[in-house]
Amino acid sequence: MRLANKTALVTGSTSNLGRAIALALAAEGAHVLVTGRNAERGAAVVAEIEAAGGRADFLAADLSGSPEAARELAAAATSLLGRIDILVNNAGAIGGSSTAETTEPRFDEVFGVNVKAPFFLTAAIAPAMAAQGGGVIVNLGSWVARLGIPIGAAYAASKAALESMTRSWSAEFGPAGVRVNAISPGVVHTAADHPAVGMMKGTPYGTIGAPESIAKAAVYLASADAEFIHGAVLDVDGGRTGVAVIAA
């Protein structure tokens, strides 16, 4: 119960990584606010948390990048929870096409969801965290932010921006008691036989990762166990960005 009596807002938490993070935070005692566009899936995550003895609520949110939507979510979340101790900027849009095939609307969508939305949500929440005496922000980056692959340049750039903002926010809000860090996941999916499993060949782990691995890292960064960690990007990627296994 490392997060007992804490509150947590997890964006994009109705499926995959966000769902796993919401479940893990709740299992450690946090009152979790599940958010996303799909109310049915959100209700299912809340029911799963409550069935395990945890506390959770769902709030519909479509974080496309508008400052107004971010401020509305921050206000509604604060009203429902009373205060926000933990913010997990997880909601994301994937742009997997080539540069030539990426349209301007798609580019704007990727940067709106992955950069503008967490920027304005943090702008609305971090000062309140500082005023209440502290808090924790965990951003979800990506291994492709630092290891180039031949597709998804817009997505990679958006995640690199989020990792850079992590360091800037740590400098800006850290002295006021708000710890800001990021997680850089490797190829992670609920299906172990996902087609992207090939991207993990040549790594120490050797195959695709589970969302629960990212969730455990989020719990650690959100807890007091990580009190000396500021402005860091924690690679939870099976060794994808830092290690090459040379096969005989």
CA atoms within 13 A on the CB side of 51: 7
Residue carrying structure tokens 């509305």: 72
Q: Catalytic residue at 205?
A: no
How many angstroms separate the CA atoms of 220 and 201, rounded? Answer: 27
Annotated catalytic residue: which of 111, 143, 155, 169? 155
CB of 63 closer than 8 Å to CB of 69: yes
Catalytic positions, please? 155
